[in-house]
Amino acid sequence: MMQSRFFVIALFAAAFAAYLWGNVTNPVLCYDPAQMIFTVLGLTNTSPPFSEPGTFLDAWRLNLSRNMDPGGFTFLLRYWALISTNHVWLRLLSVLFLGLGVFILYRLGVLLLRDRYLAGLLALFPLTNPVIAEWSLFPRAYGMEVCGVAWVSYLCYRPGLLRSRSGVFLSIAALSFFATSRYSFLLTLSAFVFAFGISTAGQRRFSLRMLFLLCLPFVPILIPLFYHLPENRDYISQFILSGKTLMETRDILRVNFGVPEALFQCIFFLAYAAQRGLGALKGRHRIFFWFLVLLNLSFIPVSMAGYYPWYLTQRFTIAVNIASYISLIPSVAILLPLLRKSAGRPRLGILGFLMAAAALLSSISMFRFDPYSDTLSVIQEAEREGRLSEKGYFSPAVYAEAKYLFEYGILKGHQSYADKKIVTGLWIVDKKIADEVDYAVISRADAGALALFEEHPAFVREKKRFYHLEYFVRKQGGLPGRP
């Protein structure tokens, strides 16, 4: 039995390590994480090359104007980055939150299932979701938010932690800490407080004073929200319900109800409804039931008001994504005894767990950041062609990635960047820029720059296809010094 347990644990660890290794070691930070690094250093992606890091106040001001987060992760990442700006080290902070979140889910699984193997499988299962697997590893606050939702879900099943002074202090401190991750955690926190209030109404051991204490974590998220500068919401407009036609609203609903998260929630709600006659079991899952209902409902009016997206295939609703996957743990806790009883056997068996673990963890380990390596691939392509010794243009959406590579990443100290041969422009493209450069690296998100070089008679698009970039080179005889 001990050998089997060791083998299963080794299988979990190996697959999780494979998932991390190919991604944490990827040297390219895409636009959002790269810009985040400059923000926490008190700089911008348009700061002069090799600028000295700014002060903490510089970083805080930039967070309020350029980052749609309260700033807790910004604060942590700033001092984390002062130790090293290596891409592996920067991602490790998010890995710590992700690992802690998985551990919390494992403990929740052990609490509800009394089965360590199955708890381990269900704790790692959220990593099969592409949104969670991708954004939880970026040096952004998404991994911290995922961990916070895991902690809230654990509290739903351990309200007894709020009975002692030490438990109350630990719970409130943790909620306050996670409240500084992202503004969307405000909805998670609100859903939990209301769910707790609904589920414990009339219980003497949970007084109004306790509800007041649970409101304290709102403070660290509401204060920066009050001072946060108005955010340009154009880039999220396609994901919100506000201003949508009937057909566009239907498309959003089709997306949100056509993902696995919707199925997982339905399984939980049906399993919960099937147990309504069992008062004790109903009480056990009651807080989480109301939390999941209110979490879903909270995103809809906010999206209808035009403030925040409700779109489960995008990172903005990662709290709903992870909560949906967490709901599988209580679903299995409700349904598994019935299945075991009908099957006439007490356990699935070690072979069954090994097969399930192999399938699940194989899927987890296959996730890769490789598409985001385009920026490095294009730079290396330009270097092989001898173009880095000449002047090149990087569009704004990709310049942050290149700037990080040249100033802090594996291309640090490259002479072409030191000689200021790599330039960028503002989001409003200056058409004269095409007359000054020999090649251009354009993100498909930069529609203006892309149209300029597509239509420019002196440039030709390279035939090699990249995931999110286009690479243009000047035709022969175009610039002085190049035949």
Q: Which pTM value belongs to this model?
A: 0.90
pLDDT of residue 79: 93
Residue ranges, the chain, pLDDT below 50: 1-2, 344-346, 479-483
β-pairing, 392-394 vs 469-474, is: unpaired
CA end-to-end span of the chain = 73
Q: What pLDDT does 481 receive?
A: 45
Output the six-digit token pair for 314: 């995008």
Of 286, 357, 316, which is closest to residue 123 (Cα–Cα)?
A: 357
pLDDT at 352: 63
Return contacts of 89-95, CB within 8 angstroms, 24+ apart.
Answer: 90/29, 90/33, 90/37, 90/139, 91/23, 91/24, 91/137, 91/138, 91/139, 92/24, 93/139, 94/136, 94/137, 94/138, 94/139, 94/140, 94/142, 94/143, 94/144, 95/20, 95/24, 95/137, 95/143
Spatial CB neighbours of 42, under 8 Å, sequence gap ≥ 6 = 53, 54, 55, 56, 57, 58, 59, 62
